């Protein structure tokens, strides 16, 4: 009995050693293919796509955590042009590459996190980084934690949901639909090296996103913009142009403020001041 007991212990130790050895080999392989590549190579690797030149510029800016001039970024692009995908790739890349908390809030459908779920699903070797996997997907639907200490947290896109939120990077998706105070609260969270990224498509209604898009430098933002016409995968643009008004085409396809928007758009500060002064200061741009 003693001999059998000792033999069983040896087998258990051998089994444990094989598991540890396998983990070391797998981790080394992951390090080589993911940790030692730049964000453009990572984009190609996990999406099997080639980024456009303007998307490459954005990806490089998103991945740069050292340049203080890139702490505030606004992305305005036509619909289905890859802006959410670029942000999703950057989010996965940065949380794998660095130990940091990353925050995402979306005003409607969380397209960024939807892309993140697909990235992990299409690249199952990334599962080795995840602490606790989801039920139906590699990453849980409420966000994820990685073994390097990184965490991706999903927030509600309200002033209350963002108030006091602490992270190294914050993405506000579909920011053109967010309440003005929500974006102001996000801006108020900026301290130290926090990076804030607003992305969306210009709205036909007044919004803080439109305010910032009108004059990014005034608010200290770097603007990245491109249109559907620059994306080779976009089809039926001629049909869209026939069906859309000129203003819709400029906003929805080109990702730009339309001329009426630029003429009638008042900065929120001016609107507030006009209300306080009983409309004495209203003026047209």
Model confidence at 104, pLDDT cuts 50, 70, 90, reads very high
The predicted structure's pLDDT at residue 29: 42
Quote the pTM value: 0.78
Measured CA to CA, the distance from residue 150 to residue 103 in angstroms comes to 11
Residues 168-211 have pLDDT tens digits of 999 999 999 999 999 999 988 877 678 999 999 998 788 899 99
Which pLDDT belongs to residue 277? 55
Share of the chain above pLDDT 70, in %: 79
Spatial separation of the C-alpha atoms in residues 75 and 213, rounded to whole Å: 9
Query: Could you say which of 1.10.357.10, 3.50.50.60, 3.30.2010.10, 3.40.50.300 is the CATH number of the domain covering 38-276?
Result: 3.40.50.300
Report the C-alpha gap between 93 and 171 in whole angstroms: 14
**Per this entry, what is the length of the chain?**
285
Q: What single-letter DSSP state applies at residue 146?
A: B
In whole angstroms, give the CA distance from residue 56 to residue 42: 11
**Mean pLDDT across 99-108:** 94
Q: What is the rounded CA–CA span in Å between residue 103 and residue 52?
A: 26
Q: Provide the pLDDT for residue 13.
A: 58
Cβ distance 265 to 208 under 8 Å? no
* 163 against 103, higher pLDDT: 103
Strands 151-156 and 101-106: parallel
Give CA–CA dist 83/18, Å, rounded.
43
Tens-place pLDDT, residues 228-246: 877 777 777 778 778 878 8
């Amino acid at each position: 009995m003693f001999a059998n007991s000792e033999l069983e212990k040896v087998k258990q130790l051998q089994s444990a050693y094989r598991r540890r050895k396998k983990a070391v080999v797998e981790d080394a392989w992951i390090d080589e293919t993911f940790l030692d590549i730049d964000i453009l190579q990572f984009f190609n690797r996990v999406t099997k796509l080639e980024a456009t030149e303007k998307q490459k510029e954005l990806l490089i800016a998103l991945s740069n955590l050292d340049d203080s001039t890139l702490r505030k970024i606004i992305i305005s692009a036509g619909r289905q042009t890859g802006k959410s995908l670029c942000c999703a790739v950057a989010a996965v890349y940065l949380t794998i590459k660095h130990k940091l908390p990353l925050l995402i809030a979306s005003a409607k459908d969380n397209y960024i996190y939807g892309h993140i779920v697909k990235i992990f699903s299409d690249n199952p070797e990334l599962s080795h980084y995840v602490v606790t996997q989801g039920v139906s997907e590699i990453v849980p639907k409420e966000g994820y934690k990685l073994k390097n200490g990184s965490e991706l947290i999903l927030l509600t896109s309200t002033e209350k949901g963002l108030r006091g939120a602490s992270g190294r990077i914050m993405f506000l998706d579909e920011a053109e639909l967010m309440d003005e105070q929500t974006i102001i609260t996000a801006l108020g969270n900026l301290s130290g090296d926090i990076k804030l990224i607003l992305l969306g498509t210009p709205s036909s209604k007044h919004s803080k996103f439109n305010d910032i898009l009108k004059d990014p430098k005034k608010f200290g933002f770097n603007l990245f913009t491109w249109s559907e016409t620059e994306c080779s995968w976009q089809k039926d643009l001629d049909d869209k142009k026939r069906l859309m008004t000129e203003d819709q085409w400029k906003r929805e396809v080109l990702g730009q403020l339309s001329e009426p928007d630029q003429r009638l758009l008042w900065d929120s500060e001016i609107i507030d001041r006009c209300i306080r002064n009983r409309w004495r200061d209203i003026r047209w741009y």
